[in-house]
């Protein structure tokens, strides 16, 4: 999933704030106990999410795809006083681990965990002024999620979509279903005049979208 040269990534990791012990434990537990631990945002991407959140001081964040909670915790670090992060996880078996991770980092009072299909839960959430939305779930539905959340994001709000470089496949010749869907998403956003956009070549690619 890493786009950058490993030596460059190691240098970057050595020149950012250290990973908090609680996040180190979540990182370690994810690799020991959970299938596909590479889905974890990880230290460097986590610091990016935290930095953007702290810069924006959001009151409302929506995350689609909680996994083991690492990215939710990083995003919650920047919440304004009284702010809330809504996070959606389809796998009910993750609920106990997630609640434990949120409590261990003292953000459990700031996070509202929703278990179930994202499309239904997004429709049920009544907020229409999210400051940040982070989409990191099943890749075939990224465009669907973007369209579902767009009207729920305030002008000037940020939508971040993970894995948009898809191990470099999107700019190669691969035409498997996931690659085609991610390429379609990127192309759709590229010509969308309602947003400003750029892709950061971080890990597997972060698409940054600012609603005008």
In sequence order, the β-bridge partners of residue 158 are 132, 210
Question: In this structure, what DSSP letter does residue 38 have?
Answer: G
Query: 36 — phi, psi (to 5°)?
Result: 55, 55
Strand-pair category, 60-64 with 84-89: parallel
Give the C-alpha distances (Å, rounded to integers) separating 149 from 78, 118, 186. Answer: 21, 11, 16
**Are the beta carbons of 155 and 212 closer than 8 angstroms?**
yes
CATH tag for 6-211 (out of 3.40.50.300, 3.30.420.40, 3.40.50.150, 1.20.840.10): 3.40.50.150
By the 10 Å C-beta count (0-12 exposed, 13-18 middle, 19+ buried), 64 is classed as buried
**Are the beta carbons of 206 and 164 closer than 8 angstroms?**
yes
Which band of pLDDT confidence, cut at 50, 70 and 90, is reported for residue 2?
low
Q: What is the pLDDT of residues 40-92, one digit of tens each?
A: 999 999 999 999 999 999 999 999 999 999 999 999 999 999 999 999 999 99
Q: What is the pLDDT of residues 18-47, one digit of tens each?
A: 999 999 999 999 999 998 998 899 999 999
pTM: 0.95
Calpha distance 210→193 (Å, rounded): 11
Asked whether residue 3 carries a pLDDT value surpassing 90, the answer given is no
**Are the beta carbons of 158 and 208 closer than 8 angstroms?**
yes
Calpha distance 81→61 (Å, rounded): 13
**Are the beta carbons of 58 and 81 closer than 8 angstroms?**
no
Domain residue spans of the chain: 6-211
pLDDT for the residue numbered 1: 58
By the 10 Å C-beta count (0-12 exposed, 13-18 middle, 19+ buried), 51 is classed as middle
Give the C-alpha distances (Å, rounded to integers) separating 85 from 74, 77, 171. Answer: 11, 10, 33
């Amino acid at each position: 999933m890493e786009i950058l040269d490993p030596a460059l990534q190691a240098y970057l990791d050595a020149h950012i704030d250290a990973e908090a012990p609680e996040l180190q434990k979540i990182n370690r537990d994810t690799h020991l106990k959970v299938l596909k631990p590479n889905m974890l945002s990880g230290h460097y991407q986590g610091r990016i999410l935290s930095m953007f959140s702290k810069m924006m001081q959001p009151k409302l964040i929506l995350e689609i795809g909680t996994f083991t909670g690492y990215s939710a915790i990083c995003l919650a670090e920047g919440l304004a006083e009284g702010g809330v992060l809504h996070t959606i996880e389809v796998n009910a078996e993750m609920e106990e681990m997630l609640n434990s991770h949120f409590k261990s980092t003292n953000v459990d009072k700031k996070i509202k965990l929703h278990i179930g299909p994202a499309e239904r839960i997004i429709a049920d959430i009544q907020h229409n002024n999210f400051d940040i939305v982070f989409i990191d779930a099943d890749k075939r539905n990224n465009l669907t999620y973007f369209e579902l959340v767009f009207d729920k994001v305030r002008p000037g709000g940020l939508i971040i979509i993970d894995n948009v470089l898809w191990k470099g496949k999107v700019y190669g010749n691969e035409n498997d279903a996931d690659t085609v869907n991610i390429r379609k998403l990127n192309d759709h956003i590229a010509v969308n005049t309602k947003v400003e956009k750029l892709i950061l070549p971080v890990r597997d690619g972060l698409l940054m979208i600012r609603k005008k």
